[in-house]
A and B are shown apart, each in its own frame.
Chain A
């Protein structure tokens, strides 16, 4: 991925092309943009992403010159652009409706801006030809906009806005009018053209998939504010708030109270007395003299793994590669070569391993689960969970969730755990995972390559799990109303404090 190397925003010496400095825009009493400051760098493909009415279009129209900021300044190449009218700005815009002039041919549409600059005719013709070639429109040069298809119109609009060679190209929902298949192709075409011309692109869109595909950085907006600016993978993997997590992709959110895990998991009883000195959690907290009998007590203590519980000791291979690396091999494990091959080769081709699905459950597991009642609520956890992280108390009668990479938090902080469905495994038998919860399949959304299972936990919470459909339908054994286990690793969820 070229974005990996192209990261001017990390370079303190890089001068941004565009700087928003405390920009506020009000329409009457309505605040469309609320005191925003951020930078866009040259050659970036910058996406403004948000639901309709979040102010993203206003942001773009201020760059184009159709709106002026109520407060604050916008600098383009270090110069305040407020006094420059739109027709004098080195900024061009591709409109959502394309705004192709219906009375002019494709060629004249593309030449329109060049003619305004009073360039000599041969230069204009040469530039128009260049643009026609870039957008593969040579055959349609003589047609009127209504004589070409939607995809071709989109390319005319792009060619027209690029013809003047602007410093900055603004794209307002450029692909909104195209159907799904064409949109995907066009996204790549757009990236290709952006790379070829080296123009800075700012795209406004409400389609998160589009933003993630094309952009080098995405700014997620909500209600006149930018919530997070980051690269697509950061936005997805490390959203800074529940809003961002929820807006980008599918997510299950658990709200609860965070507790720091004490180093070295100990028997629950011992643990309870040790943590006693820590800031007291909620009122439901049982006195230290009471011990493991109630599941609540186990839950509150935070590291509930009981070494005596049979579940932990003889369960084989843990679910996820990351956890696997940290755990001593128990049962069949990839050797070093296998791990290397996976990381360097297979992961690129097939994506990260989702071993949970393919793994054969230990034969005795089903019987064991069936036999026991109480231990079911005990989170399935091996003795070998790495230290650190937090536990999250999130519901009465449910085991606390464990999150290994969590920010430093005080005990008792209200947090949300955001969990992507593709990171959640689902199995009929109890898996050996850091977090495992029991529930019932309510709904299955079949998406072709993937299936999303909606699982209702015993306390009514819905959780989504996604599996790649590597087998034919008839071979899949999980179906509606099945009792299943959903599980995920200690690092799969993202802990959010806002």
Chain B
């Protein structure tokens, strides 16, 4: 069993303290009774109540959720296709351009993506609203999906597909019956990634959203520009809780699966012996 040296222990402790302390403080102060965010005046859930009364926030949350579900679903389909093309299609005309267009949005500053999409929508006369946000989000999140899925496809044993063909599958059947079920975890985490990216996005949404559609990040943005507000603390806590429950739950499930698989394999080896 390896043990951590004091240096490693210190860097882990400090590192994770740095990562988590601000959020912990945020969560604690969301239960502050005082209007003044930085002065503790006793425990209260007052701001949660006020938040739930705030129609504007609720509307924005609903729009955001719609945009996120639709765009991440389209992005998953397109991104999986793109990943398949990147990993499997071999050489084709414009392959370099294609892989460039997949990788560039990962690091492209959001202001540029947002500006260029806005100019496109104006150029083709598309009214800004939910649709334009969905198009914009789909475009950049499909690239993230395709990176996630393609890294799974690279390690995918190609002979599984060949075996399916060998046993009489058409190429499409082979994908549906063999490849897709096996890469499903990557596709699902691609979808989740696209979903969170869409929930999170402020800059691109600011460019592409019209007055008719405001997303939650835009709403948050306009509130916090003026400073810290207790309502936003409450909202942040809710969002952090959702993510934490989701991520921890997912990792527990996958850990249990791993453990079970491990036990199964050991049992199989024992059975053989």
Q: Do A and B interact?
A: yes
- The yes or no answer to A160 lying at the interface (CB within 8 A) is yes
Min Cβ gap A107→B in Å is 14
Give Cα distance in the complex from A101 to B165, angstroms.
13
B272 interface hit (Cβ, 8 Å): yes
Chain B contacts with A in 242-273, Cβ cutoff 8 A? 261, 264-265, 267-269, 271-272
Residue A236 is within 8 A (CB to CB) of chain B in the complex: no
Q: A152 and B168: CB pair below 8 A? A: no
CB distance from B102 to the nearest CB of A (A): 26
CB–CB B167/A148 < 8 A: no
Does B167 contact A146, Cβ atoms closer than 8 Å? Answer: no
Complex interface residues of chain A between 77 and 111 (CB less than 8 A to chain B): 85-89, 91-93, 95-97, 99, 101-103
Known contacts A146-B265, A147-B268, A149-B272; A99 and B163 CB within 8 A of each other:
yes
A293 in the interface, Cβ–Cβ < 8 Å?
Answer: no
Q: Which of A112-120, A257-265, A327-335 contacts B (4 or more CB under 8 A)?
A: A112-120
In the complex, the chain B residue whose C-beta lies closest to that of A96 is B159
Binary B-proximity of A49-89 (CB < 8 A = 1, otherwise 0): 00000000000000011100000000000000000011111
Interface size on A, residues (CB 8 A): 34
Contact status B272-A95, CB under 8 Å: no
Check if B173 sits within 8 Å of A116, measured CB to CB: yes
B165 touches A87 (CB 8 A): yes
Q: Determine the residue in chain A with the shortest Cβ distance to B163.
A: A99
Tell whether A164 is near chain B: CB-to-CB under 8 Å: yes
Note all chain A residues with C-beta closer than 8 A to B267.
147
Query: Which residues 49-106 in B have Cβ within 8 Å of A in the complex?
Result: none
B158's nearest neighbour on chain A, judged by CB, is A99
Q: A151 contacts the other chain (Cβ, under 8 Å)?
A: yes
Given A64-B166, A112-B164; A99-B265 close (CB under 8 Å): no
- Provide the residues of chain A in CB contact with B165, threshold 8 Å: 65-66, 85-87
Other-chain contact of A87, B168, B261, B265 (Cβ < 8 Å): B168
Q: Which of A85, A92, A102 contacts B167 (CB 8 A)?
A: A92
Q: Within the assembled complex, what's the spacing in Å between the Cα atoms of A89 and B157?
A: 22
State how many angstroms separate the Cβ of A492 from the closest Cβ of chain B: 43
Query: Are B169 and A151 within 8 A (Cβ)?
Result: no
Q: Are A87 and B268 in contact (CB under 8 A)?
A: no
Residue among B169, B177, B268 with most chain A CB within 10 A: B268
Given contacts A97-B159, A101-B160, contact A164 B167 (CB under 8 A): yes
How many Å lie between the Cα of A143 and that of B265 in the bound state?
11
A178 to chain B, nearest CB (A): 11
Q: Can you name the residue of chain A whose Cβ is closest to the Cβ of B171?
A: A87
Which listed residue (B159, B166, B177, B182) contacts A102, Cβ 8 A?
B182
Of all chain A residues, which has the CB nearest B170?
A87
| A contact residues around B264 at 8 Å (CB) | 144, 146-147
**B181 on interface, CB distance cutoff 8 Å:** yes
27 A-B pairs in the complex with CB atoms less than 8 angstroms apart: A64-B162, A65-B165, A65-B166, A66-B162, A86-B162, A87-B166, A87-B167, A88-B168, A91-B166, A92-B167, A95-B159, A95-B163, A96-B159, A97-B159, A101-B178, A103-B181, A112-B164, A117-B168, A144-B264, A146-B261, A147-B264, A149-B271, A149-B272, A152-B272, A161-B166, A164-B167, A164-B168
Please name the 9 residue pairs, one residue from A and one from B, whose CB atoms are nearest each other, closest first.
Answer: A113-B167, A116-B168, A149-B272, A99-B163, A99-B159, A147-B264, A95-B159, A103-B181, A86-B165
User: Known contacts A87-B165, A95-B159, A116-B169; can you find 9 more A-B pairs with CB under 8 A?
Assistant: A64-B162, A64-B166, A65-B165, A66-B165, A87-B168, A95-B162, A147-B264, A152-B268, A161-B167
